[in-house]
Structure 1
Amino acid sequence: MGSSGVRGSRVSPLSVAGWLGLAVLLAGAFIAALGALNQTIYGSSSFIERYLTAIANDDIAEASTTPGVALDEAELAELGLAPDVSTAMLRTGVIESGPEDVSIMGDVAHPDGTHTVTASYRLADAIVQSSFDVRPIEPLYGVLNRWEFAVSPLAVIDVTAAHNPTFTVGSLTLDTRALKSGEELAAFTQVAPYIAIAPAVYEFSYSSELLEAVPVAVQADASERPAVTVDAQPTAAFVDRVQVTLDEFLGECAAQPVLQPAECPFGIEIDDRVTGDPQWTIVASPQVTLTPGESSFDMPPTEGVAHISVEVQSLFDGHRFTLEEDRPFTVALGATIQPDESISIQLK
């Protein structure tokens, strides 16, 4: 009987070519998919869209932690800012409105790998177009593009708190003296810089029983440094309280039974003999008006009228009579608000 043997199997060249072709197709599809992802979701345009959308959603935590947004100490110094400059405005509930209806108008690639992305969006009632420079950073998983701002889009808003150190922006109330010391604390008008997310619109104001500032809207564009003045003015309640205090002071002056009440704005000199206690009354109290001065809310010299009634004997002929006379006088004063919300008044 003849012996039987096992015949070796052969791989068809066509099969190998088929598998290689499939591998090439899969690799090509993978590369194409990566390319599509890097052009869309992981593209420079999408990076800008996500940043602007985070602001519009008031997700300030996401916006402020976007790569390239935070300012380092060297960048702060270049802007003339101290390392401890306030970042208190970088929080939810502060912006009045963020960028809406975002549309990418252009995405220009440069030879060094950076891109300039131009976006159009609505900011409150304005249509704004801004360009952002971004650059690549270490890819995600080594293959998916990641980006950072080449120049931080943060804005610096210089706030002048006129005649009152505190102001309100959004739901936040801030004190411009927070990082100051010494003589700076006593200034009637304070100025302080604040880091703010941008682009966005902010509304600055102030309102209390004694002071009120008309709301002011500020458009903070990316990488810009706008300024705003929160101009606190005395309320009717403030004026009324000063009027009451002034009237009480003048009443105390009138209660003094002398010709020249001490430290008071009115008095009289009489050459004849005074035979009775002088009696003063306030006929017309000066009407208080207040405007900001250099260090206080000031009332300009304002006229009032006091009346004196006193028994007198003539030195010429001994005749006795009652002197009745109106005495015009003027009062000027400065009023300041103390930390406990009391009002301090100084006559000028």
Structure 2
Amino acid sequence: MGIVGVLLVGAFGAAGAVLYDDLYSPSSFVRRYLDLLSTGNAAEALTVPGVAVDSAALQNSGLPADASEALLRRAALAPLTHPEITSATAEDDGTTTVTVSYDAGPHSGTTAFRVERAGWVGVAPTWRFATSPLAAIELTVRGATQFAVNGFEVDTRQVSPDRADADPLEPVALLVFSPGLYSISVDTPIASTPGVAVLSDTPLAKIPVDVQAQPTEKFTAAVQEQVESFLSTCATQQVLQPTGCPFGLVVQNRLASTPTWSIAQQPTVTLVPDGAHWRIEKVPAVAHITVDIRSIFDGSVRTLDEAVPFSLDGTVTILPDGTASIQVGDGS
């Protein structure tokens, strides 16, 4: 009977250890958090003790106090698979460091969490994150105010504390879950980029990301059309130096007829990034003038019929309403 009693006690002890590890240990606490992320339950993951942080806690951690919570939602989460607890180490300060491995899309990663005792429910301990598992992406998008994170559409002016007055080149801070994979891309009629993958794997880390958008063919074609229209309008001015235009002619004699301009060769526009906006690279073009010139010496008249090479450059500014303001210069 005594032997049976010892065996029973041993069995109950083993069962208790398994139950503790599965339900009440720091590892089980972290495992439940990872399960929520793996199934896209962002709202519930935010309610896990120690996850949500206020502005003061963000600032004390060196993160922007006004970081946006726009990405803390199901629509912005990417799949997190094969989460596994690899170690749990009790620290001298009473916390436990729980290290996990996982796959985030095609990337493998590891993250260490600090967990501390939160209290008791009966005889069972409860836990909380001693360090929030959130992190902050500090994102600068050049050439666009609209972007997508894991397919979730965002506008810089929606997540910036300055709203409509946001500086397009000022980084915006976006809170994200750790661990998590965040693919940032631009796909608008004006600009586009391939996706930039960002792996958030360190709690309360600041992750700087700089994305440079490129002009789309459609946008470049629209600017090309506007530049050609501008030059064609310049050519309607019947003067030697069309006002506000990048071409003209200087003669030493008098005019005997009204100058007639045309554009013999339109420029081929190339757009390059210029801060938050775009620049038209210096490019050659050719105008043509026909005009009769009277000599101031002998009064003779000759017809000037020649090509006038010129160059132009310019700037393209994207206005708050999404339209483009094009300024053409003379390429000097």
Short-chain TM bin: 0.7 to 0.9
Report the equivalent of 2:74.
92
Q: 1:82 to 1:222 in 2, by over 3 A?
A: closer
1:301/1:167 CA distance change after superposition, 3 Å: same
2:61 pairs, out of 79, 93, 99, with 79
Instruction: Give the 5 Å matches for 1:1-348.
Output: 36-98=18-80, 100-110=81-91, 113-140=94-121, 142-178=122-158, 179-181=160-162, 185=166, 187-223=167-203, 224-294=205-275, 296-348=277-329
The count of aligned residue pairs is: 322
Structure 1 55/316 Cα, relative in aligned 2: closer, same or farther at 3 Å? same
Residue matched to 1:10: none
Flag the 1:85–1:126 CA change in 2: closer, same or farther, 3 A.
closer
- CA offsets 1:75-127 (integer angstroms, 9 cap, x no match): 211133454321111000212332x2122222223466432222222222333
Query: What secondary structure is seen at the aligned counterpart in 2 of 1:159?
Result: strand
Paired with 1:188 and 1:91, the residues of 2 have a C-alpha distance of 24
CA distance 1:113–1:295, change in 2 (3 Å): closer
Q: Shift of residue 35 of structure 1?
A: 5.1
Do the aligned partners of 2:257 and 2:293 also contact (CA within 8 Å) in 1? yes
The separation in 2 between residues aligned to 1:90 and 1:110, in whole angstroms, is: 30
CA gap of 1:316–1:257, structure 2 versus 1, over 3 A, is same
In the TM superposition, what whole-angstrom CA distance separates every residue of 1:297-332 from its partner, at most 9, and x where no partner exists? 111222111110012222333332211111111111
Contact kept in structure 1, 2:66 and 2:161, CA below 8 Å: no
AA partner of residue 184 (structure 2): F
1:333 alignment partner AA: G
Q: Once the 2 structures are TM-superposed, how far is the Cα of residue 256 of structure 1 from its aligned partner?
A: 0.9
Q: Shift of the alpha carbon at 1:26?
A: 11
**Contact conserved, 1:204 with 1:216, CA < 8 A, in 2?**
yes
AA of the residue aligned to 2:99: T
Over residues 176-230 of structure 1, what are the superposed CA-to-partner deviations in whole Å (9 max), with x where a residue is unaligned?
3343439963x34231111101101010001111111221010011313222222
Q: Any idea what the Cα deviations from partners look like across 1:13-60, whole Å, max 9, x if unmatched? A: xxxxxxxxx9xx999998876554223222221111111121111111
CA contact (8 A) 1:165 1:189 kept: no
TM-score where L is the length of structure 1: 0.84
Q: 1:46, 1:127 → 2: CA distance?
A: 21
Moved more, 169-178 or 39-48: 169-178
Asked whether the 8 Å contact 2:110–2:201 carries over to 1, the reply is: no
- For the pair shown, the structure with the greater C-alpha radius of gyration is 1
Give identity over the alignment, percent.
Answer: 37
Is the CA contact 2:157–2:163 (under 8 Å) kept in the aligned structure 1? no
CA distance in 2, matches of 1:116, 1:188: 40
Q: 1:346 to 1:133 in 2, by over 3 A?
A: same
- The letter for the 1-side match of 2:141 is A
Quick check: 1:97–1:202 contact (8 Å CA) kept in 2?
A: no
How far apart, CA to CA, are the structure 1 residues paired with 2:62 and 2:27? 31
Distance 2:107 2:150 in 1: 19
Gaps of 5+ in 2: none
